[in-house]
Amino acid sequence: MSKKKRYIGTTITLSVLAFIWLLPTFGLLITSFREGSQAQITGWWDIFAHPFNQNWTLIAFDQALNKKGLAASFISSFAVTIPATVLPLLFAAYAAYGFTFLRFKGREFLFSAIIGLLVIPIEAALVPVLKMFLSFEKHTGIALSGQYAAAWFVHSAFAMPLAIYIMRNYMMTIPTALIEAARIDGAEDYKIFWRLVLPISVPALASFAIFQFLWVWNDYLIAFVFVGNDHPVLTYTLLSMLGQYGEGWQVVAAGSFISLSVPLFIFFSLQRYFVRGLTAGAVK
Amino acid sequence: MKKLKAAIVAVAVAAGTTVAVLPSAHAADTVTIYGGFGDAQADAFQLELDKFGAANGITIKYTKLAAYDTDIRVKVKAGQAPDIGMWPQPGGLLDYASVLEPLDTVVDLPAIQKTLIPGWDKLAVKGGKIYGLPVSANIKSLVWYNPANFAAAGYKVPKTDAELSALTAKIKKDGKGYPWCVGIESGGATGWAATDWLEEYVLRYGGVAQYNDWWKGKIKFNSPLVLKAAAKFADVALTKGNVNGGGKAIAATSFGTTAPLFATDKNKCFMMRQGSFITGFFPDAIKAEYAANNFTHVGVFKLPTPAGATDGVLGGGDLAAAFNANPATKKVMGYILSDKLGQNGTLAVYNSYLSAHKTFPSSLYTNPVTKSIAGYLSSAKAFGFDGSDLSPAIVNATEWTELTNWVSGKKTLAQAFDAIDASWKKV
Amino acid sequence: MKDMLTAIEAVFIGISLTIFVYWALDKVTNLLPRRSKKALKPWVFIGPVVLLIGSFIVIPAIQSIRLSFMEEDIDGSTKWVGLENYKSIFGDENFRQMLGNNLLWIAIAPALTVAFGLLIAQLSNQVKPRIEAIIKSTIFMPMTISFVAAATIWRLNFAYAPEGQPQIGLFNAIWTKLGGSPQTWMQIDAFKFNSLLLIVIFIWLNAGFAMVLLSAAIKSVPEDTLEAGRVDGASRSQLFFQIILPQIWPTTLAVFITVLISAMKIFGIVLAMTGGNFGTNVLAQSFYLQYFSYGNTGIAMATVVILMLAIVPVMIYQIRHYRRVEADH
């Protein structure tokens, strides 16, 4: 490191960029703590012009949570997101194990085919999947559409290509000798997977989990179609609030921050895994 | 063999739990209703439903859909249709006729038709069958003003179209504010508020018969009648200085932006034409005043009719339709379509509620503004239901988009109208 | 509270059921004779995923293609109409405008996003590690934001109030301070300005993604190759363009492809910012409108098929790229 030259100009340029990057979000955060009457007539930067003239308040958060129903949506978002994160991890880990350590005909072809699916847009599956749920209901009496579970399945399926790719890349770094040794000791694949490979793969699992969690948490389309308004998720409720600025921006701003709080918390507390996950997925 | 047995048992248990966990189709004595109205109106509606439900052993749940016209489509396609749906757009409702119950199998039609204001039973008819009837009405031909601001500037409420034009010109000249507030932004439905303006004048210039031909597609947008109506709207909204910021601002301002009406600085506006629901969009302080029957800042008059045109009233309403004919659904439909709805506490919670029944006791309208609005409704010589809402959904949506294009200056009136006319081909 | 319990219950049961299914599958195959057991075992691991992908991606995608040649009624009954949907799409002037917008997105958004990510990655490699960490976090942060929340943030930025009223949107506040009259930014379609503003939001959201990956690549450039350049007296920009860039080019390309695909599928930002109005409509947004607002299943599906066809070449490239990487191992 010491050999590297450092340039003060570079630091300044970067700081300016970071400042610009942060500014909009910062403005929204400020707005959410302002009183309606003030937020309506002055921009958020007014807090710098008149720092002692501000009526800070949490009213907007209270309104967003209780009057606009964001509190209930918060729970729904978790109910959709947690299984839609854990289940694909499990599916992908299993499949990656199969693709890495088991030999069977058509393995490479199947693997490439799955990766190729990465670019099929969700829109292409939406309508037929809806129909599928309906005919499933007709034949079995089990209504999946409108339940959290419907979103879990769809999210799981669309997470597969990337998840399997990442997991397999990681598992390929596990020495084959280790697996062979376990086999010689008489361990079945089921046992090797749960006792040996899965624990070793925790870093890759963690990285992907963060990724998937954020993706599902921020998703609108799948939740809108498959879960809908019986258990509206945050993005759904928030989108219906957009445009309601008659009483000022503070309530919508507060709502946005409530939905942002979880991703930001995860991002700042698990940043290391996050970056590692990204790097594992795309750089090879 | 022991192992096989264990495995079979395990699979059976798993399947069993799956079925047990997933909620079964909801109980027979529960009725779900989806609709478009929210806030106080929704609270009032639920309140009456609760009372009715308690007396009849039915649990009734009303849910507001964020964007009714899109959301109900997803719900139905996803197999999540409610028992009852309430459409603000009868045209949209009829798209669903094949999955709805004709109302003659659901309710005692003649009894309801007898109490309805004439014409309100003909809004959602397909193949001779009625599919939807109103649960509430609203009037669009209303101009809201602020009596305090009028008094301070020395303006009088105009009675004729000529007086209205004169007042508009005078306000502009005086420069104490802008004559009109117009906003048509509404997210994915941006533009609908502009269709109302157009309808006001097509109804007046053309009369009911031509008005009905127009929304049915028998009279084109690019026709003398509709062009004349558009010119009148443009005269009000797009004349320089009439609306703060002009056409671009109109397209960027939410339809529910009422704050300038109650402002006192030179950015205020003096008049705003909007439906009776707009009271729900007043600033909190004004809302509180209004709820307490304090009319210092809220006044309303009927949009005047140009000389020589038909005196008309434009309105809309929410129409209920039934997705099944279960006994509980029938009971609830019978109640919400009758003149009883609104008599059991609604007006105490939501004082802007208007019934579409002529037999609804007007003494219940304790709010004088609501009372006078109810008067416009029952006394109208020519009543027109919101035409764009009667048109097929694709024409309606195209009309929203294209009028927005015109108002914001992206297209000429002729281009916009041609595009709307073309959308009839896609029906 | 009841919501919470239902949610927890659903989460718990969903996860344990899935684990159980894998367990049961394993137990059942164990009962089989040795030979078939060996043949079936891989499918215990891969089978559920194949089933999942097959029933939720592959079959639906094929059905979508079929539906694009059909017309559907609200009750689900369908009717074959041949190429009618495609004809009506290509005959529609709005569609041509939309296609133009998609091309604009493809042409500008990925390149700028990658260029920006590259710039920051390279610059931040030259400052103190502490500062580097802060800068990177800041640039990356929007990546975690949903498009709806991003739309709130940017709607506030672009907020408009008529002349004379206080401007609470940052853009108009600055613009009017400079003497301009307040603008309705999302309506300015001259030179596709409003679409370009939407692309700015896209870059704001995605530059962090590109930056992180490219930064990792830059850091893995062997120090001795850089040292050799320095000894030869190469300037900073020469170092970057002649030594670093060629070495990280494969990564750059991979990032570009990923961003390109998300630009092709762009939907949320447009939906939440303009709803597709003012000439900003794009394919995926049109699918949404056609299907959910107009109820034209056939036309919606045809739109998706066109989008898929556009993505196919990219897909082929992606698979080839993957194969190459595999071969290198």
Q: CA C248 to CA C235: how far, in whole Å?
A: 19
**Checking DSSP bridges between strand B84-87 and strand B30-35, what pairing results, if any?**
parallel
DSSP of A133-163: HHHHHHHH----TTSHHHHHHHHHHHHHHHH
Calculate what percentage of chain A has a pLDDT beyond 70.
Answer: 92
Which residues lie below 8 Å from residue B390, measured CB to CB, with a gap of 6+?
B89, B90, B91, B123, B215, B216
Q: Is residue A141 part of a domain?
A: yes
Contacts of B245 in chain C (CB under 8 A): 160-163, 182
Q: What is the CATH number of the domain that holds A147?
A: 1.10.3720.10
What does the pLDDT read at residue A58? 87
Residue A205: closest CA among A122, A127, A89 = A89
| Minimum-distance CB partner of A242 among C11, C64, C151 | C151
Contact across the interface for C131 and A14, Cβ inside 8 Å: yes
Q: CA A245 to CA B391: how far, in whole Å?
A: 30
Lowest mean pLDDT among A2-6, A24-28, A168-172, C272-276: A2-6
The dihedral through the CA atoms of C120, A273, A115, B78 has a sign that is negative
Is A203 within 8 Å of A273 (Cβ atoms)? yes
What does the pLDDT read at residue B221? 96
* pLDDT one-digit tens code per residue, B323-370: 999 999 999 999 999 999 999 888 888 888 899 998 999 888 888 888
DSSP of B69-134: HHHHHHHHHTT---SEEEES-HHHHHHTGGGSBPGGGTS-HHHHHHHBPTTTTSSEEETTEEEEEE
Q: Is residue A262 part of a domain?
A: no
**pLDDT > 70? residue A25:** yes
Is B113 within 8 Å of B121 (Cβ atoms)? yes
SS (H, E, C) B150-185: HHHHCCCCCCCHHHHHHHHHHHHHHCCCEEECCCCE
Residue C262: closest CA among A215, A119, A165 = A119
Q: Give the pLDDT mean for B35-41.
A: 81
Contact across the interface for C164 and B244, Cβ inside 8 Å: yes
Q: Is residue A273 part of a domain?
A: no
Report the gap between the CA of A247 and the closest CA in chain B (Å): 6
Q: Is residue A33 part of a domain?
A: no
Q: Which residues in chain C show pLDDT less than 70?
A: 1-2, 322-323, 325-329
DSSP code for A52: G
Which residues lie below 8 Å from residue A133, measured CB to CB, with a gap of 6+?
A144, A145, A150, A226, B78, B79
What's the mean per-residue pLDDT of chain A?
84
* pLDDT one-digit tens code per residue, B127-153: 999 999 999 998 899 999 999 999 999
User: Domains (ranges, CATH) in chain B?
Assistant: 30-138+315-385 (3.40.190.10), 142-313+387-426 (3.40.190.10)
Most confident of the ranges A80-94, A198-212, B38-52, C76-90: A80-94
What does the pLDDT read at residue B84? 96
Backbone angles phi, psi at A248, to 5 degrees: 100, 170
**pLDDT > 90? residue A149:** no
Amino acid identity, position A16 = V
Residue B355: closest CA among B387, B330, B380, B318 = B318
DSSP of B226-272: HHHHHHHHHHHHTSTTTBTTHHHHHHHSBTT--GGGG--STT-EEEE
* pLDDT one-digit tens code per residue, B386-406: 888 888 878 888 899 999 999
Contact across the interface for A230 and B80, Cβ inside 8 Å: yes
Q: Is residue A84 part of a domain?
A: yes
Q: Which domain holds residue A131?
A: 68-241
Contact across the interface for B249 and C279, Cβ inside 8 Å: no
Contact across the interface for A238 and C255, Cβ inside 8 Å: no
Contacts of B401 in chain C (CB under 8 A): 277
Contacts of B192 in chain C (CB under 8 A): none
Residue C57 neighbours by CB distance under 10 Å:
22
Q: Is residue A216 part of a domain?
A: yes
Helix/strand/coil for B342: coil
Confidence of residue B24 (pLDDT cuts 50, 70, 90): very low
Amino acid identity, position A222 = I
Contact across the interface for A283 and C61, Cβ inside 8 Å: no
Is A150 within 8 Å of A221 (Cβ atoms)? no
For A129, how many CA atoms within 13 A lie in the half-sphere containing its CB?
27
Q: CA B248 to CA C188: how far, in whole Å?
A: 9
Is A123 within 8 Å of C284 (Cβ atoms)? yes
CA C14 to chain centre: 28
Residue whose entry in the numeric block shows the structure tokens 């005196």: B311
| Minimum-distance CB partner of A228 among B19, B24, B80 | B80
Helix (H) or strand (E) holding A271: helix A271-282
Contact across the interface for C49 and A86, Cβ inside 8 Å: no
Residue A201 neighbours by CB distance under 10 Å:
22
Most confident of the ranges A115-119, A126-130, B326-330: B326-330
Contact across the interface for C148 and A220, Cβ inside 8 Å: yes
Helix (H) or strand (E) holding C328: helix C297-328
| Minimum-distance CB partner of C14 among A42, A152, A268 | A152
Contacts of B21 in chain C (CB under 8 A): 9-10, 13
Contacts of A28 in chain C (CB under 8 A): 152-153, 156
What does the pLDDT read at residue B418? 94
What does the pLDDT read at residue B181? 94
Contacts of A17 in chain C (CB under 8 A): 120, 135, 139
User: Chain C within 8 Å of B394 (Cβ-Cβ)?
Assistant: yes
DSSP code for B276: G
CA distances from A31 to A112, A171, A246, B405, C320 (A): 48, 47, 15, 31, 49
What does the pLDDT read at residue C327? 64
Q: CA B139 to CA C204: how far, in whole Å?
A: 45
Q: CA C255 to CA C91: how far, in whole Å?
A: 36
**pLDDT > 90? residue B4:** no
Q: CA A125 to CA A151: how far, in whole Å?
A: 13
Contacts of C170 in chain A (CB under 8 A): 23-24, 27, 43, 45
Contact across the interface for C318 and A118, Cβ inside 8 Å: yes
Helix (H) or strand (E) holding C6: helix C2-30
DSSP code for C221: S
Contact across the interface for A147 and C10, Cβ inside 8 Å: yes
CA distances from C179 to A44, C146, C189 (A): 20, 34, 22
Residues in chain A: 284
* Dihedral, CA of residue A86, residue A91, residue A93 and residue A96, to nearest 10: -150
For A47, how many CA atoms within 13 A lie in the half-sphere containing its CB?
15
Contact across the interface for C271 and B96, Cβ inside 8 Å: no
Which residues lie below 8 Å from residue A242, measured CB to CB, with a gap of 6+?
A252, B187, C148, C151, C152, C155, C272
Contact across the interface for C13 and B3, Cβ inside 8 Å: no
Helix (H) or strand (E) holding B315: strand B312-322
Residue B79: closest CA among C300, A138, C295 = A138
Q: Which residue of A has its CA nearest to B261?
A: A246
Q: CA A115 to CA A111: how far, in whole Å?
A: 6
CA A161 to chain centre: 16
Number of domains chain A is built from: 1
User: Chain C within 8 Å of B74 (Cβ-Cβ)?
Assistant: yes
ipTM of the complex: 0.86
Helix (H) or strand (E) holding C160: none
Contacts of C28 in chain B (CB under 8 A): 7, 11
Q: Give the pLDDT mean for A67-77.
A: 87
Q: CA A264 to CA B173: how far, in whole Å?
A: 53
CA B247 to chain centre: 23
**pLDDT > 90? residue B182:** yes
Angle at C88 between CA C87 and CA C93, to 5 degrees: 110
Lowest mean pLDDT among A115-124, B199-208, C187-196: A115-124
User: Chain C within 8 Å of B122 (Cβ-Cβ)?
Assistant: no
DSSP code for B136: E
| Minimum-distance CB partner of A87 among C15, C137, C147 | C15
Q: Give the pLDDT mean for A252-272.
A: 87
Structure tokens at C74: 């609200």
Q: Is residue A118 part of a domain?
A: yes
Is C70 within 8 Å of C80 (Cβ atoms)? yes
Q: Which residue of A has its CA nearest to B17?
A: A142
* pLDDT one-digit tens code per residue, B232-271: 999 999 999 999 989 999 998 888 888 889 988 888 999 9
* pLDDT one-digit tens code per residue, B101-134: 999 999 999 999 999 988 888 889 999 999 999 9
| Minimum-distance CB partner of C279 among B21, B393, B410 | B410
Any chains having at least 3 CB pairs less than 8 A from chain A are B, C
CA C230 to chain centre: 39
**pLDDT > 80? residue A279:** no
Q: Is residue A38 part of a domain?
A: no
| Minimum-distance CB partner of B254 among A127, A142, A243 | A243
Confidence of residue B21 (pLDDT cuts 50, 70, 90): very low
**pLDDT > 60? residue B16:** no
Helices C59-67 + C297-328 axis angle, to 10:
140
Calculate what percentage of chain A has a pLDDT beyond 90.
Answer: 25
CA distances from A225 to B236, B417, C292 (A): 41, 33, 10
Residue B304 neighbours by CB distance under 10 Å:
19
* C-interface mutation test, from B65, B70, B176, most C Cβ less than 10 A away: B70
